[in-house]
Amino acid sequence: MRIVSVLAASAAIAVVRPSLAQNAVLHDGTVVTQKIPVESFAVEGPIWDIDLARRQIVSMGLHVTIPAMLNGRPFEMGNTAIVDNENVSLGGITTENFDRLSDFNAAIRDRVFETDITGGPIRMGPVRSIFNSFEARSRAQQDVDRWPMVQKQMEDNYFFFARNAFAQYPIGTLPDNFLGLIGIRTETGEYVSNLQQLPPRRFWRYPASSAASFNATGSIYVDASGNEHLIPDFLIKGAFASIVIAENVKVGPIKAGALGNWVTPDSFVMGNILVILNQDPRMPTRLTGVGDSPLSREFLLTQMPTGTLVEVVGHMVGEHVMFAETVLAETTFDPSIGAWAGVRPTSWRYDEDGLQFVGDMFPMTGHRLSVRLGNTEIAVATTPVPEFGYARFDVRDLPADPIAHPTLTLVVRRLSDNQIVREHEYDWRALVGL
């Protein structure tokens, strides 16, 4: 996955490309324009510092400025998310709430302790610093956004979450020496296997962790005084700039799952790994099924058949605990959502003939699909896939105007009474890079 983004960034620099963005507005209202001839940059590497006042991220020697607006459109950081106490997404991190990136605020101010319906707390706090653990434990460097006491809080979070989640599973679900494997050890380094005989906290060993990665490609912009600013303006995997605490991937069958409680996050077990649903208030948590349809936590953890194959993307702490940001069960449909229609993310195309995209509708029986552009609704042909209970659609040459109709809505109607049972809107202009 990283190779793809690196190649894309390299291509953006190696090729003489047209101006993808003409102007940007900084957080303080300063207008900057793209330098001519265009001078490009690209970075994908560990974060060294976050300059909250200037809205800059420092990585690999580059001070990259996150703008408030890019070509008249609000700028949002990729792979970030803000949720309220109902676990409803409020969008990603922008210059207005840029201070949410700080370890200090993520670990202290921005936590959400309310539970998600019958499950565990929504965001109890981060378990990894945005810097590598060795740097985060030190204040040797002046004027850097590092807080050793916050690093300790995050390490304590890790042990607290993992220990409580482990306690929910019957003996034998995870390895007998699991507690020792995750770092709960004695003064002499011996592994612990019994929750009733935990040694003092000071002897536990938090696994070392690397810094979050910053990924951005863009151009140099100048303000009225001639000052230069590095502004991300080239889309990489759907975002102009992204922060990824770690892009670890695990694919395998679910062995067991458990809904949390007010002191325990939701979790499941894959092999000898305990997967805890993300607790970092800066990062997203997406549970999706077939066709990118939503999965409820209750369905994932208590109703989905044991042995269901899932793909998990998230951040590891050590070798045996993963904090899931994305869980994909691409053969599973959660019937509690009623119906769904979703476009495959990599299928969006736009050229002089119009808009093209491919996707799936669930369930196929008793439903029909249409696309709404503005006030116009256009019927969409579907092809049944009976063995899996869904219908596939392949839209070609849809006459969509990116100015008049920058969004489209998939509409699923019930055949029996023509009532709408599901609507899903896409900002297709952004998805195709316009």
CATH of domain 248-328: 2.40.50.140
The runs of H, that is alpha helices, within 65-177 are 103-108, 133-136, 148-166
State yes or no: pLDDT of 104 exceeds 50: yes
- List the structure tokens of 118: 């019958």
Q: What is the mean pLDDT of residues 416-429?
A: 91
Q: Compute, in degrees rounded to 10, the torsion defined by CA atoms 202, 205, 210, 212.
A: -60
- CATH 2.60.40.1200 residue ranges for the chain: 338-431
User: pLDDT tens digits for 362-381?
Assistant: 888 899 999 999 889 999 99
Q: What is the mean pLDDT of residues 71-87?
A: 93
- CATH 2.40.50.140 residue ranges for the chain: 248-328
Residue 102's pLDDT is 96
Average pLDDT, whole number, for the chain? Answer: 90
Query: Confidence class of residue 118 from pLDDT cuts 50, 70 and 90?
Result: confident
Fold for the domain defined by 338-431: Immunoglobulin-like (2.60.40)
Query: Confidence class of residue 14 from pLDDT cuts 50, 70 and 90?
Result: very low
Closest CA to 27 of 224, 231, 239, 215: 231
Query: Confidence class of residue 3 from pLDDT cuts 50, 70 and 90?
Result: very low
Report which DSSP code applies to 18: -
User: pLDDT tens digits for 30-48?
Assistant: 999 999 999 999 999 999 9
User: pLDDT tens digits for 172-190?
Assistant: 999 999 999 999 999 999 9
Residue 50's pLDDT is 95
Query: Confidence class of residue 139 from pLDDT cuts 50, 70 and 90?
Result: confident
User: pLDDT tens digits for 391-422?
Assistant: 899 999 999 888 888 999 999 999 999 999 99
Tokens 């998230």 belong to: 314
Query: Confidence class of residue 7 from pLDDT cuts 50, 70 and 90?
Result: very low
Do residues 432 and 411 lie in contact, with contact meaning Cβ atoms separated by under 8 Å? no
Residue 430's pLDDT is 81
In this prediction the pTM is: 0.87
Residue 20's pLDDT is 52
Q: What is the mean pLDDT of residues 239-248?
A: 91
State yes or no: pLDDT of 149 exceeds 70: yes
Closest CA to 158 of 278, 14, 302: 278
Q: For residue 430, what are the CA distances in angstroms to 15, 136, 322, 331?
A: 22, 36, 31, 28
Residue type, 364: M
Residue 13's pLDDT is 43
Residue 6's pLDDT is 43
Residue 4's pLDDT is 39
Q: What is the mean pLDDT of residues 85-94?
A: 92
User: pLDDT tens digits for 330-353?
Assistant: 888 898 888 989 898 889 999 888
Q: What is the mean pLDDT of residues 232-248?
A: 90
User: pLDDT tens digits for 291-332?
Assistant: 788 899 999 999 998 999 999 999 999 999 999 999 999 888
User: pLDDT tens digits for 18-31?
Assistant: 445 689 999 999 99
Burial code of 109-132, b = ≥16 C-beta within 10 A, e = fewer? ebbbeebbeebbbbbbbbbbbbbb
